[in-house]
Amino acid sequence: MDELLREWFDRNGRDLPWRGTRDPYAILVSEIMLQQTQVERVIPRWRAWLERWPTAAALAAATSGEVILAWQGLGYNRRALALHRAAQAIVTNGWPDDLTKLPGVGPYTAAAIRNQAFGEPVLPIDTNVARIQERTGHAFGPDSLQALFDLGATVCLARVPRCDVCPLAAACPSRGRRYEPLRKQSRFEGSFRQRRALTLRLVADAPRQLGELDSEAVAALSRDGLVEEEAGLVRLPV
């Protein structure tokens, strides 16, 4: 199955910019951005980020406020601070043998960096990879990682897989099956997440008096290190 999948990928693989590099910092940035943001939104932001901060040292030298401001629009802003702290740790101590020691890097992200940047024979298991392996009953090798990403994103879809165009369909025991809808993410509209996002956007535009803002959202953002308050003035951290 691996060979069939890689042959399909050679013809149909997506042209993603981070696939053209082995730079572990560049791949770290892509993986943190991709954790909770769609690929199409990440592509231009990844390019802009690396143009501004092309190395871990460049990012480490930035202020937290600059990093938060550059992250606006990607969502889940704590990822920006984690990436910033990871860059600072890399500059101070180098890349650790255990990548999960870096802020914001869990087992999956660590495995993705090890595979894509360092060429280690590990297969990171995200929802797409797990779904394909479960449906096919096949344990794919690390060299099939990028092909698995693309098959899961474009063909072996969560609810209605496109078995008619799948390169693995002939040998797949799940061919033709349909699946129950996945649990929907909680609504953003009207949620506290939206209140946080709006408040951070206002502060990112310019420092604001606390009385002008959602105080509960400010308190939550402050706990996460995303804003600072001093003498009633709320601003991005410096």
3-state secondary structure the chain: CHHHHHHHHHHHCCCCHHHHCCCHHHHHHHHHHHCCCCHHHHHHHHHHHHHHCCCHHHHHCCCHHHHHHHHCCCCCCHHHHHHHHHHHHHHHHCCCCCHHHCCCCCHHHHHHHHHHCCCCCCCCCCHHHHHHHHHHCCCCCHHHHHHHHHHHHHCCCCCCCCHHHCCCHHHCCCCCCCCCCCCCCCCCCCCHHHHHHHHHHHHHHCCEEHHHCCHHHHHHHHHCCCCEEECCEEECCC
Catalytic residue at 31?
Answer: yes
- Residue pair 198/159 in contact (Cβ under 8 Å)? The answer is no
Catalytic residue from among 3, 7, 31, 134: 31
The residues that are catalytic are: 31
